[in-house]
Each structure stands twice: as structure tokens, then as C-alpha cells.
């Protein structure tokens, strides 16, 4: 919205009263104002006529109420046409007409701006947007999905009014070239569900080469990431397989336009909205086929009004919302490749290449817990890390731990988890290994990029790690040293984390409150570093570990069953 102030009738200043005339000129003083009033009345009438013609010419004069609407590009053309037609009917709030101004804005871009405006951050795989002025934000936002409202409400739950009704719908489908659709044939006639997707992913050779728009900035991309999770993960031990699948996707690409270009490079399938397929096919020489994704969430285009708007603007927004959701403009949405909020089609809806006029079941992407789970694994799989692993090397690590019917030496449990955990990190991650016992810590492998040589050094160091002949555990001072090291070379392009493995408590004499205060002093909000602690065996005081973790926004876990170590280690990395 423009920052220019528009004067409305309700905020016009009061005019001062005219001074009262007396004395010799009193009679004349009465007659002259009468003449002036008469002339001004004629001028006023002329002004009203001119304003009326101007308002009729463009639907509303410049002194009316400007209702700003930011809409996802998928729905912006439809809302622009509807806004123009509705404004031309001269809708009024009191005595002021309403003029709708629609601006096309990718959902992730406005979410980014709203996050910084609310004092937080929404990860859209991009830098935080500059903080906008209140006047630069729209009154109404129509993103492509409730998914975006959920993410914004995670920063400020009261930023938008609670009721945000859907104005249109578009199912997420799998876009494939027509040749691939013919090869798939009857196999996908009833749609692709999670079991079939898994079968197609792991077929030899694979039936599909998948692509995706970055899920942190694209709703259909997030739906695809969640469907892959459903297909691959039956229990927590399957999470490494999901990491592998996400990495095999390649990319991801930044937007749908880049996605279409990727098909020329060998891509054969990607989750997109039905509307995107329709829009692409309208101008493409080689059209794409839309294959149904069974039980996939749907784009639902919520009409969200920012909270605490002046009453005239809130009233205008409510009036426009009612008009948009009425039956008069169904064909406008249909002609732009969009369905009604209940999944039906209207006159003008394009069909063909897998797009049919049959109704679809609408289910908005509103389960934010499931979104967060998929996004966490996605970010871990696709984003480089910068990690120092800090390992307890006191003599107690040579003891056995028993749980769940399983018994193993603690150091052996750690070795196995560390070896398997190495494959979870991308090649452009940085990893270092320290051990602590006795008087302090020792860097076994300095922090460095995960080249083949660095991986070999880490594996050798892990396999050669052995408990030292001391039970003095300098846990807290080693945590502080590791935190300082990560802070010193902080890399904003990587997730910076200190991962600590220990089987006991600090034995150096440093108090818990001391390490907390030191970490608080070192903390820099512009350089977030998490401390993640894994306690092995029954001697761990989990509450103390959690207190250290909480100071840095990290997490702490206790492992009592050796068989659970790998799963909990992965959970710790993904937390």
C-alpha cells in the first residue's frame, strides 16, 4: 500500500466559526455573506457534478476508500478483474465509495515481510526482508494456502483476523510430460498415493526423476515433501532414508518458472498446483499432464484481513470478501484455472491433459506440526551444517549400558552412531571432533569442510577413540570452549551446532548456573548457535543437560537403550 495519506470524510478537520460582525457595518455584513454563500453554493454544486462524473468514470474518486489486496500470482488476475468489476458498481461505506487495488505478490515474499514486521523471522530460503512500514502492508492478503497463514501466525498469532474463508481452490497434482503419462498408463489412473509413490521411487530403474520448488517458499513443494515423508517413513528409524530421498531430488529450484525449465534437463515429475499446469499448457508447445495425487492437501486461497484495521477499511474488506465468495464471479475464477472453494468447476474452466471437470476433495494444508516435521528434515538434508562433536572420553565410557534387553559398551554405542551419523551431513557441511576428559578438551579433528579427506579423518578418529584413565569430566568448560569456537568462525549460511555426547555429570567443580551465565554472555542474537546434548546411560542428570540446552535454544536427550542411539542421535540433529 502506498504511504500517501488519503483524507476521508471521517477525519476532516473542523472549520473555525466565522467571527460575528456588529456596529455600523452590521447590516452590510449580513448581505455580503449571503451573496458569497450563494456563489459558493453554485460552485459547490459544480464540484459535486465534476466529482460525480469522475467517480463514475473510474468506479470511485480519489477521495474514496482504497482497499489494498496482496494476492498470490495464481489468483491475482482473477481478483483484479473481480475487483474492477465490483468497484465499478460503486460500493459504499457510509458516503465513501470503495476502490479495490490488487497487487500480485508471491506468497512467500509477503510472508517474509510480515515476519520481519512482526519482529520475527519466517524461513523462506532467503534473507529476511527489510522491515516494512505499516502503511506498506496490504489490508487484505490472499496467499495460495492456509499454509502461509499458519507460518505467519507462528510469529504473530494475532496479525490476521481469525476467520479467513477460502475464495478458490486448486489441488496439488504431479506434473509429468505427456510421454511419461502414457508410460505410466493405468497404474496411476486412480491417482498416486504414498505406497505407489514409494514403489515408483525405489523401482530399478526409477520410474520418475523428481523435482520440486523449494518447500520453504512454495506450497506445492511442501505438499510434495510431506508426501515423500509419508511414502518413506513408517517409523523413526526410516528418517535417514528420507534424508537420502530429499537429497536425491537435487536443486531445489526457486520458483515454478524455473521448474518448467528443469524438464528440459531431464526432470520427469514435480508436484505443482492444477492451476499451474493449466497456465503452463495455455502457452506451451509441449503440454504437461496432471496426475492426481491421492489425499494430497489442496491450495485453498484464504481471504485474510489484517487485524485492528480502521472500521471503514474493515467494513470494505468484509464487503469485498462477500462479493468475491458470491456466485456472481465463479466464471472469472474458472477461466483462470481455479475451482470453487468446495472443489467444483464453473463455466469456462479449462480441461484436458489430465485436468477434468470432476469435483475434488478439498483439504487445506493446515497441520503445522506435520509441516514442521517435514520442513525440519528437509532443511537438515538440503542445508549445510557447521558442527563440532564434543565426546566424553572419561573412563566411565568403557562401561556397559543396558536397556530394552540390549547391552553394549558406551563408547561402542557412540562409535556406531557417529559413523552412521556422518552420512547425514552434506558435503559442503563443516565438521570437527573434540574429546574431553581430565583437565580439558582436545581437538581430535579440527573443524573443516566435509571433503573425502575430512570424512576419512573423522572416521579414523572415531574408531580410535578410547576412554582415558580418569573420571574427572570437564563437561561445562568444554561446552563453553566449543561454543566460543563456533562463534569465532560463525557462518550464517550454515546451521551452527555443538553436539555433546556424555555419560555423566560435570566433575570439574564448575556449577550449572555458572555455565548458563557464561553462555548467556556469549550469546549473540545475530549468530544463533545451538547446543544439543545426548546423555548415555543411567548416570546422566537429564534436567541439568536440558538446562544447558535451553540456554541456547537447543535440546537434550537421554539414551538408555543402546538400540535407540542412532534414532535419538538423528532426532537430536533434526530438532
Q: Do 447 and 565 sit in the same domain of this protein?
A: yes
- At 61 the pLDDT is 63
- At 54 the pLDDT is 31
Integer Cα distance of 174 and 177 in angstroms: 10
- At 525 the pLDDT is 79
372 within some domain: no
SS (H, E, C) 123-186: CCCCCCCCCCCHHHCCCEEECCCHHHHHHHHCCCCCCECCCCCECCEEEEEEEEEHHHHHHHHH
First to last CA, the chain: 38
Distances (CA, A) of 149 to 144, 154, 363, 364: 10, 8, 15, 11
> Could you read off the pLDDT of 233-251 as tens digits, one per residue?
998 888 888 988 998 887 7
Q: Do 199 and 141 sit in the same domain of this protein?
A: no
> Could you read off the pLDDT of 480-522 as tens digits, one per residue?
999 999 999 999 888 899 999 999 889 888 999 999 999 999 9
348 within some domain: no
- At 68 the pLDDT is 98
Cell 549468530 identifies what position?
A: 527
Q: Cα torsion for 274, 280, 283, 285, to the nearest 10°?
A: -110
415 within some domain: yes
- At 529 the pLDDT is 94
367 within some domain: no
Integer Cα distance of 493 and 486 in angstroms: 13
- CATH number, residue 61: 3.40.190.10
Q: Do 524 and 391 sit in the same domain of this protein?
A: yes
Residues comprising the chain, all counted: 575
- At 204 the pLDDT is 84
- CATH number, residue 420: 3.40.50.410
- At 251 the pLDDT is 77
Integer Cα distance of 274 and 175 in angstroms: 8
Instruction: Enumerate residue ranges in the chain where pLDDT < 50.
Output: 1-58
Long-range contacts at 400-405 (CB < 8 A, ≥ 24 apart): 401/503, 401/536, 401/537, 401/538, 401/559, 401/560, 401/562, 402/562, 403/560, 403/561, 403/562, 403/564, 404/560, 404/561, 404/562, 404/563, 404/564
425 within some domain: yes
Domain boundary among 299, 326, 348: 299
42 within some domain: yes
- At 238 the pLDDT is 86
357 within some domain: no
Q: Do 286 and 245 sit in the same domain of this protein?
A: yes
Q: Do 183 and 85 sit in the same domain of this protein?
A: no
- C-alpha cell read off for 111: 510472508
Q: Do 204 and 263 sit in the same domain of this protein?
A: yes
Global pTM value: 0.79
Q: Do 321 and 469 sit in the same domain of this protein?
A: no
Domain boundary among 283, 299, 315: 299
Number of domains present in the structure of the chain: 3
Q: Do 195 and 69 sit in the same domain of this protein?
A: no
Domain boundary among 299, 320, 347: 299
52 within some domain: yes
Q: Do 35 and 99 sit in the same domain of this protein?
A: yes
Q: Do 150 and 183 sit in the same domain of this protein?
A: no
- At 359 the pLDDT is 97
Q: Do 393 and 325 sit in the same domain of this protein?
A: no
How many whole angstroms from its chain centre is CA 67?
A: 26
Q: Do 306 and 277 sit in the same domain of this protein?
A: no
Provide the domain limits for residue 26. 1-167+302-334
> Could you read off the pLDDT of 11-66 as tens digits, one per residue?
333 333 333 333 322 333 333 333 333 333 333 333 333 223 333 434 566 679 99
Amino acid at each position: 500500500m502506498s504511504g500517501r495519506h488519503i483524507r476521508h470524510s471521517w477525519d476532516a478537520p473542523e472549520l473555525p466559526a466565522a467571527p460575528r460582525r456588529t456596529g455600523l457595518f452590521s447590516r452590510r455584513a449580513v448581505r455580503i455573506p449571503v451573496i458569497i454563500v450563494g456563489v459558493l453554493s453554485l460552485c459547490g454544486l459544480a464540484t459535486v457534478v465534476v466529482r460525480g462524473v469522475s467517480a463514475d468514470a473510474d468506479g470511485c474518486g480519489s477521495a474514496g476508500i482504497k482497499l489494498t489486496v496482496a494476492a498470490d500470482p495464481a489468483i491475482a488476475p482473477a481478483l483484479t478483474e473481480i475487483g474492477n468489476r465490483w468497484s465499478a458498481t460503486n460500493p459504499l461505506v457510509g458516503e465513501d465509495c470503495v476502490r479495490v487495488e490488487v497487487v500480485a505478490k508471491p506468497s512467500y515474499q509477503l510472508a517474509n515481510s510480515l515476519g520481519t514486521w512482526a519482529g520475527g523471522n519466517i524461513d523462506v530460503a532467503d534473507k529476511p526482508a527489510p522491515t516494512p512500514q505499516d502503511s506498506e502492508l496490504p489490508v487484505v492478503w490472499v496467499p495460495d494456502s492456509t499454509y502461509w497463514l499458519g507460518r505467519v501466525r507462528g510469529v504473530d498469532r494475532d496479525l490476521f483476523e481469525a476467520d479467513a474463508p477460502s475464495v478458490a481452490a486448486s489441488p496439488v497434482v504431479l506434473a509429468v510430460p505427456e510421454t511419461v503419462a502414457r508410460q505410466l498408463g493405468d497404474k496411476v489412473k486412480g491417482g498416486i498415493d504414498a505406497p505407489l509413490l514409494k514403489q515408483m521411487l525405489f523401482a530399478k530403474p526409477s520410474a520418475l526423476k523428481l523435482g520440486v520448488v523449494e518447500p520453504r517458499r512454495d506450497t506445492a513443494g511442501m505438499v510434495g515433501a510431506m508426501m515423500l515423508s509419508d511414502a518413506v517413513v513408517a517409523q523413526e528409524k526410516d528418517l535417514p532414508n528420507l534424508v537420502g530421498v530429499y537429497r536425491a531430488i537435487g536443486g531445489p529450484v526457486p520458483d515454478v518458472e524455473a521448474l518448467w525449465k528443469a524438464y528440459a534437463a531431464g526432470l520427469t515429475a514435480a508436484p505443482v498446483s492444477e492451476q499451474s499446469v493449466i497456465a503452463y499448457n495455455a502457452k506451451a508447445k509441449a503440454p504437461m499432464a496432471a496426475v492426481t495425487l491421492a489425499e494430497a492437501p489442496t491450495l485453498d486461497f484464504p481471504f485474510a484481513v489484517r487485524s485492528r484495521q480502521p472500521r471503514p477499511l474493515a467494513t470494505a474488506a468484509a464487503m469485498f470478501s462477500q462479493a468475491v465468495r458470491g456466485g456472481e464471479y465463479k466464471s472469472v475464477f474458472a477461466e483462470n484455472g481455479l475451482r470453487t472453494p468446495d472443489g467444483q468447476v464453473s463455466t469456462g474452466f479449462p480441461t484436458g491433459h489430465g485436468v477434468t471437470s470432476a469435483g475434488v476433495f478439498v483439504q487445506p494444508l493446515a497441520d503445522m506440526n506435520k509441516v514442521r516435521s517435514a520442513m525440519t528434515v528437509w532443511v537438515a538434508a538440503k542445508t549445510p551444517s557447521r558442527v563440532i562433536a564434543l565426546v566424553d572420553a572419561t573412563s566411565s565410557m568403557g562401561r556397559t549400558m543396558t536397556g530394552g534387553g540390549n547391552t553394549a559398551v558406551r563408547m561402542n554405542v557412540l562409535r556406531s552412531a557417529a559413523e552412521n551419523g556422518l552420512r547425514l551431513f552434506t558435503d559442503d557441511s563443516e565438521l570437527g571432533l573434540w574429546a574431553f576428559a581430565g583437565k580439558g578438551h582436545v581437538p581430535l579433528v579440527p573443524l573443516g569442510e566435509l571433503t573425502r579427506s575430512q570424512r576419512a579423518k573423522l572416521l579414523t578418529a572415531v574408531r580410535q577413540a578410547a576412554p582415558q584413565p580418569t573420571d574427572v569430566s570437564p563437561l561445562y568448560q568444554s561446552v563453553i570452549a566449543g561454543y566460543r569456537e563456533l562463534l569465532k568462525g560463525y557462518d550464517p549460511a550454515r546451521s551452527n551446532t555443538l553436539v555433546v555426547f556424555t555419560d555423566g555429570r560435570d566433575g570439574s567443580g564448575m556449577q550449572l548456573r555458572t555455565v548458563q551465565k557464561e553462555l548467556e554472555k556469549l550469546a549473540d542474537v545475530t549468530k544463533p548457535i545451538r547446543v544439543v546434548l545426548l546423555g548415555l546411560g543411567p548416570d546422566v542428570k537429564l534436567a541439568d543437560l536440558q538446562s544447558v540446552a535451553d540456554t541456547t535454544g537447543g535440546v537434550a536427550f537421554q539414551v538408555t537403550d543402546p538400540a535407540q542411539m542412532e534414532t535419538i542421535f538423528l532426532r537430536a540433529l533434526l530438532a
